[in-house]
Structure 1
Amino acid sequence: MVEIPPKSAIDYISLGISRVGMFLVAIIVGIMFYEVVMRYFFEKPTLWVNEASLWIGGFIYLLAALYVLQQRGHIRITMLYDVVPRWVQRVFDLISTFGIVVFGTMIIHGGFNEATAKYARWETFGTAWDPPIPATMKPAIIIIAGLMIAQAIANLICDWKDAPVADGGENIADEYKHSYSDTVTDRHD
């Protein structure tokens, strides 16, 4: 996959945040490896690795959602989207952005009070290790929902004047030109 270059300020923020998520995957692998070694070779399992991997995995999930939105990799029916005229694609883009904005707004509205309460009392997980997963994850969900709203709007604005793009990331006109020139070249050979 070719990464879409940033076109707006929010794109830089989304890409920067998603890079953190990429490193978090390596941290999960490292701590899980540590747990396996400690449990099966030294017979001294840890209390913290399972919860730490859940905690980090939750952040990865949130950060990946922002990255996918920035890369325009969210779900859409490409068979339909790629064959309609650009003005219809823009209508689809408006509907999609509206849906993301409504969803994100509902997440923020519905979860803001709970997130601030959990953060204010530094609520913990309630296990032997007792990490502050609720105190950090709930506010992170609110923050990422806000960033996703901003990213969806930025995508709509940045892509509004662009030529239609096929699912593979190439401009449809360029894709047609390449396939047509390959066909013409094959006939002359």
Structure 2
Amino acid sequence: MDGSVARSVQPGNTLYRLRDEGDLIELSRGVFRKADAPAPTRPDLLAVSVRAPLAVVCCVSAAEVHDLTDEIPGEIQIAVPRGQRPPRIDYPPTEAFRFSAPTFHLGLAAVEAAPGENVRIYDAERTVVDLMRLRGRLGEPLALSALRRYLQRRGARPGQVIAFARELGVLGRVRAAVDAVIAE
């Protein structure tokens, strides 16, 4: 454990003794970090990614990372491929979504959660489309606000948003929303 996050590999008593002595910080059950390691900028995302390495940060959690919302999710939202069992993580609180396996890789990116330690996350374009796809569950105002913020930023790629919408089967809804926001 040279500064990075590690899963529990030593006997439990040793890890908890090191934690109690202040040498380790416990990020989540079985996930420890050296106390003198550089502070993680996103410790909750880091803990979840260690516990669920194949999962991808998505939806409101991804929107917050990409500065597409001011909302701070009460749970870390992650996606797993449909057919795969979602992880059960109590802390930090986590909500799992099951996304289609054939399109699971679309828009896959990474964000640095601690110096030199990356977490899998969907890029801003995929995040906007996912929020539009799940607007009945997550809220239409959130989805439209994220789309508006995305389209107003320098370097926005509305063509990529439309391409992801086509791949994910929500082209009509997303195209109408993009047209409406651009017309404002």
Question: Which TM class, normalised by the smaller chain length?
Answer: under 0.3
User: Which one has more relative contact order, counting CA pairs under 8 Å at least 6 apart?
Assistant: 1
Q: Which has the higher strand share?
A: 2
Please report the TM-score for the alignment, with normalisation by the length of structure 2. 0.23
